[in-house]
Amino acid sequence: MGTSRTDERKTTYREALREALREAMRSDDRVFLMGEDVGRYGGCFGVSLGLLEEFGPERVRDTPLSESAFVGAGIGAALAGMRPIVEIMTVNFSLLALDQILNNAATLLHMSGGQLPVPLVIRMTTGAGRQLAAQHSHSLEGWYAHIPGIRVIAPATLEDARHMLAPALADPDPVLIFEHGVLYNASGEIGPPAASADLDHAAVRRSGTDISLITYGGSLPKVLMAADELAVDGISAEVVDLRTLRPLDGETIAASVTRTHRAVVVDEAWRTGSLAAEVSARIAEGSFYDLDAPVERVCGAECPMPYARRLEEAALPQPSDVVAAAHRAVD
Amino acid sequence: MSPAHETRTRTTAKTSEAPKAAKTPGASKRVRKSDGGSAPDRSGAAHRRDLLHAMLRIRRFEERCVELYSAAKIRGFVHLYIGEEAVAVGVNEALTPDDAVVSTYREHGHALARGIPAEAVMAEMYGRTTGCSGGRGGSMHLFDAGRRFYGGNAIVAGGIPLAAGLALADRMRGQSRVTCCFFGDGAFAEGEFHETANLAALWRLPLLFACENNRYAMGTALERHQAQTDLALRAASYGMVSWAVDGMDAEAVERAAHRAAEGIRAGAGPHFLELRTYRFRAHSMYDPDRYRDKAEIERWKAQDPIERLTDRMRERGELDDEELAAVESRIDDEVGDAVEAAERAPEEPAGSLLRHVTSAPTEVG
């Protein structure tokens, strides 16, 4: 296609997700993809482009705009031994299927006394940054992380986009994958899979000694930028990527705080009742005596996401906000 | 309710043979053609005796539940099926052990008809280890994976999309199985029904929509919760074969369910049965039942499915008092044994609380 050799090794977050889907469908004929525009359109965000041609309309299944019905159908198909991957365009739309996710997918195993595991994977986009306004931009993964019975993951890197799907499919319980919309075009070379195919552990993305910056998903690149800025100021920041929002890897969080004695939690969702609140509470519960400063939080503004670029930027955590919070904790 | 409605119900029963719609003309032809072939096998006295036994078993089980609830032996929301037995028993006759059943919170009758032992259902009401859901479900969440009985859904219409998924899996693997989804007229108002009916008809899923129209959505009468009370007519608009059936006649239900199941197995896509029935008791044990008058209940009790079948059998000389007493005695023993076993069964230890939240084993201290 006229691309150079170097370019061919480069990939994007979107392509990494697609490659993971392709691999899953090639290796297990129980796996199929179902959702809005996943087939002929190639996926609302282009993730499944080309899969219809390779696997056909039975396994790359366009659905009506009926979130509750096709998520519920995914649950039923999983109960019957299939391995469905359901794509919902955005987390905002997933609320139309919340009953199925919470009252069925997360609950059936327990309600049935262990008889009915639901090996279902649901993928959806989350987050803001593309001026899509209030009904396409919210970060509600923290709500899902509230629910026992499901696993919630948020791949932030190319490696995780490429390698977290296989263990998600191998999990006998429902796994929700949150893909931040601003990450789809992120590009680079994919590292080795060994350390990445893990749904139980947070990852330390950058080591540091002065402060722990704890985040996940779409905020990770911003937090890494903030860490770079802090390094210029002589502050050594450790960056922890939660990766799995439920169950939380409390040990990695605590170990980091034990090393650095300070923490900033960065979460694009609303501050009140957020996942950042949960992480902060865990630090207070388990690492209180290791702390040299109060835990800081940098979260999304408490308003519906606005359209105007300047307002949207103001509503979201920015690297400068993280730097300022870190300075408050360290200085 | 006006007497006119009852006339209409009876009229509907007579016309229930005719499909209201079919996605393809071939589908309805296949359905009609199968009619003659299978009917004789199921019209004998022995078969009617089985139907009667199955209905009486559900009735006596639930009457015992009322006593146990009053004695505070079982708790929670208990929704009785009394009056609707012909539906569970008739539909079950059309299903094989390979088929799947998705049920609602009013599911004792479905569970028993499906073959879940009375002991396992009763133990579940007691919240015991030996209950069919290990004590975590109670009356509203009965499950039996081995018998492909998928609950037990207490969110009205919540089981309908799930049933579509079970049917989809069969369809994708080329298995000739039927998924039967029970739900009520109340659930017919939920978006879940519309979404799933559209999906099932679009994808021609092997799904039997068994709508138990008992005329009440909790405490709200059909005329007060449905803009168009002819539910079969509305279902037909999705391109499904749809019939209204006299749900107080076990044999009529069985015939309709059998034809629908044959059509589904033949690849004609989803079928819809509006099973016009009535619950003799309140919505749940909590419900004071102030929203309907006694005369209406009495009119429907005159259509009691158990009495109707008993009368029919007596008229044909297929049943005498002695035989009936023997059936009743067998059921008494079975229900009595179930209660006794539930009383004796161990309770789940509190330490097992977090078991089955996820598949990974977890215990609390």
**Each residue's pLDDT tens digit, B52-91:** 999 999 999 999 999 999 999 999 999 999 999 999 999 9
Query: pLDDT class for B42, splitting at 50, 70, 90?
Result: confident
Please tell me the distance from the alpha carbon of residue A263 to that of residue A261, in angstroms, as a whole number: 7
Please tell me the distance from the alpha carbon of residue B37 to that of residue B25, in angstroms, as a whole number: 20
Check residue B258 and give its pLDDT: 97
Q: Would residue A67 show up in a list of annotated catalytic residues for this protein?
A: yes
Which strand (E) or helix (H) includes residue B13? helix B3-15
Mutate to test the interface with A, among B141, B356, B363, B364 (most CBs of A within 10 A): B356
Tell me how far CA of residue A313 lies from CA of A217, A316, B303, in angstroms: 17, 5, 68
pLDDT in tens, chain A (331 residues): 444 444 457 999 999 999 999 999 999 999 999 999 999 999 999 999 999 999 999 999 999 999 999 999 999 999 999 999 999 999 999 999 999 999 999 999 999 999 999 999 999 999 999 999 999 999 999 999 999 999 999 999 999 999 999 999 999 999 999 999 999 999 999 987 655 578 999 999 999 999 999 999 999 999 999 999 999 999 999 999 999 999 999 999 999 999 999 999 999 999 999 999 999 999 999 999 999 999 999 999 999 999 999 999 999 999 999 999 999 999 8
Residues of A in contact with B150 (CB under 8 A): 76, 79, 116
Check residue B284 and give its pLDDT: 86
The three-point CA angle B237-B241-B242 to 5° equals 75
Q: Which of B102, B170, B192 sits opposite A68 (nearest CB)?
A: B192
Please give, rounded to a whole number of angstroms, the shortest distance from the CA of B270 to a CA of chain A: 14
- Distant-in-sequence contacts of A303-307, Cβ < 8 A, 24+ apart: A304/A134, A304/A138, A305/A128, A305/A132, A305/A133, A305/A134, A305/A137, A305/A138, A306/A133, A306/A134, A307/A131, A307/A132, A307/A133
**Cβ neighbour number for residue A228 with a 10 Å cutoff:** 13
**Cβ neighbour number for residue A305 with a 10 Å cutoff:** 24
The one catalytic residue in A136, A138, A180, A261 is A136
Residues of A in contact with B162 (CB under 8 A): 72-73, 75-76, 79, 100, 104
B20 in Cβ contact with B234 (< 8 Å):
no
Residues of A in contact with B359 (CB under 8 A): 109, 117, 171-173
Check residue A331 and give its pLDDT: 87
Residue B10 pLDDT > 50, yes or no?
A: no
Half-sphere exposure of A259 (CA within 13 A, CB side): 18
- For the entire predicted model, the pTM comes to 0.91
Residue B14 pLDDT > 50, yes or no?
A: no
Residue B269: exposure state from Cβ atoms within 10 A (0-12, 13-18, ≥19): buried
Check residue A196 and give its pLDDT: 57
Please tell me the distance from the alpha carbon of residue A296 to that of residue B131, in angstroms, as a whole number: 49
Q: In what order do the strands lie in the sheet with A121-126?
A: A60-62, A31-35, A83-90, A121-126, A175-180, A151-153, A244-246
Q: What is the pLDDT of residues B135-155, one digit of tens each?
A: 999 999 999 999 999 989 999
Residue A19: exposure state from Cβ atoms within 10 A (0-12, 13-18, ≥19): middle
Which residue in chain B has the smallest CA separation from A174?
B358
Please give, rounded to a whole number of angstroms, the shortest distance from the CA of B273 to a CA of chain A: 20
Residue B1 pLDDT > 60, yes or no?
A: no
Contact B133 A115 (CB under 8 A): yes
**Strands B216-217 vs B207-213: parallel, antiparallel or unpaired:** unpaired
**Strands A121-126 vs A175-180: parallel, antiparallel or unpaired:** parallel
Please tell me the distance from the alpha carbon of residue B110 to that of residue B54, in angstroms, as a whole number: 11
| B180 beta partners | B101, B208
Helix (H), strand (E), coil (C) string for B286-313 = CCCCCCCCHHHHHHHHCCCHHHHHHHHH
Please tell me the distance from the alpha carbon of residue B25 to that of residue B268, in angstroms, as a whole number: 10
In 3D space, the residue among A283, A37, A262, A149 whose CA is nearest the CA of residue B360 turns out to be: A149
Residue type, B269: G
Check residue B285 and give its pLDDT: 81
| B221 beta partners | B216
Check residue B41 and give its pLDDT: 62
Tell me how far CA of residue B6 lies from CA of B3, B12, B185, in angstroms: 5, 10, 17
Query: pLDDT class for B97, splitting at 50, 70, 90?
Result: very high
Residue type, B256: A
Please tell me the distance from the alpha carbon of residue A120 to that of residue A138, in angstroms, as a whole number: 23
Contact B164 A103 (CB under 8 A): no
Please tell me the distance from the alpha carbon of residue B174 to that of residue B125, in angstroms, as a whole number: 37
Question: Which residue in the block uniquely carries the two structure tokens 């955005």?
Answer: A90
Check residue A146 and give its pLDDT: 97
**Strands A60-62 vs A31-35: parallel, antiparallel or unpaired:** parallel
Please tell me the distance from the alpha carbon of residue A219 to that of residue A204, in angstroms, as a whole number: 14
Q: Which of A72, A77, A114 sits opposite B356 (nearest CB)?
A: A114
A203 in Cβ contact with A231 (< 8 Å):
no
Q: How many beta-carbon pairs below 8 A join chains A and B?
A: 144
| B245 beta partners | B275
Residues 6+ apart with CB under 8 A from A158: A11, A12, A13, A16, A186, A187, A188, A189, A190, A191
Give per-residue burial for B129-165: e unless 16+ CB within 10 Å, then b.
ebbbbbbbbbbbbbbbeebbbbbbbbbbbbbbbbbbb
**Cβ neighbour number for residue A232 with a 10 Å cutoff:** 8
Half-sphere exposure of B355 (CA within 13 A, CB side): 17
Residues 6+ apart with CB under 8 A from B44: none
Check residue A193 and give its pLDDT: 64
B159 in Cβ contact with A116 (< 8 Å):
no
Please tell me the distance from the alpha carbon of residue B104 to that of residue B153, in angstroms, as a whole number: 5
Please tell me the distance from the alpha carbon of residue B264 to that of residue A217, in angstroms, as a whole number: 46
Please tell me the distance from the alpha carbon of residue A309 to that of residue A36, in angstroms, as a whole number: 27
B141 in Cβ contact with B358 (< 8 Å):
no
